[in-house]
Amino acid sequence: MRMYDIIMKKRNGGELSKEEIHFFIEGYTRGEIPDYQVSALMMAIYFQKMTEKETYELTMAMAHSGEMLDLSGIHGCKVDKHSTGGVGDKTSLALTPMVAACGIPVAKMSGRGLGHTGGTIDKLESFPGFSTSLTTEQFIENVNRIGIAIMGQTADLAPADKKLYALRDVTATVDNMSLIASSIMSKKLAAGADAIVLDVKTGSGAFMKSREDAFALAEEMVKIGKNAGRKTIAVISDMDQPLGRAVGNALEVKEAIVTLRGEGPEDFKELCMVLGSRMLLAGSKAESVEEARNMLTNVIRDGSALRKLEQFVEAQGGDPAAVTDPELLPKASMVVPVCADRDGFVEKIACEDIGICSLLLGGGRETKESEIDLSVGILLEKKKGDAVKKGEVLGYLHANDEKRLEAAKEKFRSAYFITDYQPEAEPLIKGILQ
């Protein structure tokens, strides 16, 4: 079998066989197939798409490209959560301590930033000293001891996805349904949880911009999960504007902490409630959504979710003092307002552009080797539907570099659309599939 023939077959719209998919995944994982050939194949898949059968085979080949974690050493029903990626999506940072405080063991594998979206691993590294490179034994031990552990993809866990994820990030091949479904589900299956709650984003800041595509992606992932014997639920949620107000690694960590104190933005709190209640139901900790929501409200009110975050940060080598005093998190040297140039209402926010604005400030990667600046980002003062006056602040850019700041300002300004009429509010949750 030759990689050249596989690329050509897909380029011409053919359906790859199970053997061909395994050949390229195994060869790439072993380092025998170079990045440039796999980039070409990713682009061919991007344009020609994959059938449901190919997507399933790709998922299984990627899941089995390394170790399949055995979490039977963790007591109770393990529930994992994964987002398809968004702007300002810091949900895992607040949600996982909330459900862990309710007694659900959280054994989660997360990723780094991808395209214009941020990643949980990068965000967690804002805690000075924090490490997501855990051995399987440490991972299991931490979940049993404190109820929560989050690790990055090790060299052994779905290594094919780890390599493809980094390659897709810099070759404009992220937003394809089969590539997203196989990337997420291969990790989730390899990471061994009993139940999986998926947050599928839709809107201008999501990889799946249209509602139809988001529902199709959700359906595809739920089907893959069920075929693999895992309880799988997908929540389809809005990403037509950034979630909450903070975009950028340390700024998002700060917002998650504030939310665990009960003071966060409403949309972000509500999403944590919806996903958290599904996780409690999937893990049989609650019998109804109402009961689950009450449990989640209580762990915020009595401070146990915030304490869980502290324990989690400490257990993974981070400075727990930064949970009590977020001023200890990385801080940018410049905070610059961007103001409205007319009166009116915020009609829409080009959400992907806000993500790109954070990248321009240095918060994301340009190449696989790029170092990111954890301190930079954006704090939105105005969101969709808000009234604005000429000269009022739309948002603050947190920056460390004048040149980057200028490019980001341009992007930020052009992302805001202000009109005379207040637009209708969009629902945060578009649907739930199970």
Looking at the Cβ atoms of 167 and 393, the one nearer to ligand URA is: 167
Smallest CA-to-CA distance from 377 within 357, 401, 351 is with 357
Stretch near ligand URA under the rule CB under 6 A, chosen from 124-132, 173-181, 340-348, 417-425 = 173-181
- Tell me the residue type at 268: F
Q: Annotated catalytic, 75?
A: no
Query: What is the smallest separation between the CB atom of 324 and ligand URA, expressed in angstroms?
Result: 31
Q: For residue 406, with 0-12 CB atoms within 10 Å meaning exposed, 13-18 middle and 19 or more buried, which class applies?
A: exposed
170 binds ligand URA (CB under 6 A): no
Smallest CA-to-CA distance from 394 within 241, 206, 258 is with 241
Looking at the Cβ atoms of 60 and 379, the one nearer to ligand URA is: 60
339: β partners: 393
Q: Within positions 219 to 238, which residues make up the interface with ligand URA, using CB under 6 A?
A: none
Q: Which of 39, 92, 178, 183 is catalytic?
A: 183
Looking at the Cβ atoms of 58 and 258, the one nearer to ligand URA is: 58
Neighbours of 124 (CB within 10 A): 23
Cβ neighbours of residue 144 under 8 Å, at least 6 residues apart? 73, 74, 75, 105
Q: Annotated catalytic, 201?
A: no
For tokens 């999986």, what's the residue? 196
On the CB side of 74, how many CA atoms lie within 13 Å of its CA?
Answer: 31
Give the pair of three-digit tokens for residue 182.
Answer: 């196989």
Query: What is the smallest separation between the CB atom of 183 and ligand URA, expressed in angstroms?
Result: 3
Query: What is the smallest separation between the CB atom of 158 and ligand URA, expressed in angstroms?
Result: 10
Instruction: Select from 44, 151, 184, 405 the one that contacts ligand URA (CB under 6 A).
Output: 184
For tokens 């054994």, what's the residue? 107
Looking at the Cβ atoms of 162 and 404, the one nearer to ligand URA is: 162
Q: Which residue is nearest to ligand URA (CB)?
A: 183
Q: Annotated catalytic, 183?
A: yes
Stretch near ligand URA under the rule CB under 6 A, chosen from 65-73, 94-102, 175-183, 372-380 = 175-183
Query: What is the smallest separation between the CB atom of 188 and ligand URA, expressed in angstroms?
Result: 9
126 binds ligand URA (CB under 6 A): no
- Tell me the residue type at 40: A
SS3 345: strand
Phi, psi dihedral angles at 67 (to 5 degrees): -70, 140
Q: Which of 161, 175, 194, 267 is catalytic?
A: 161
Smallest CA-to-CA distance from 199 within 430, 1, 390 is with 430
Looking at the Cβ atoms of 41 and 114, the one nearer to ligand URA is: 114
196 binds ligand URA (CB under 6 A): no
**Residue ranges binding ligand URA (CB under 6 A):** 84-85, 111, 114, 165, 174, 179-180, 183-184
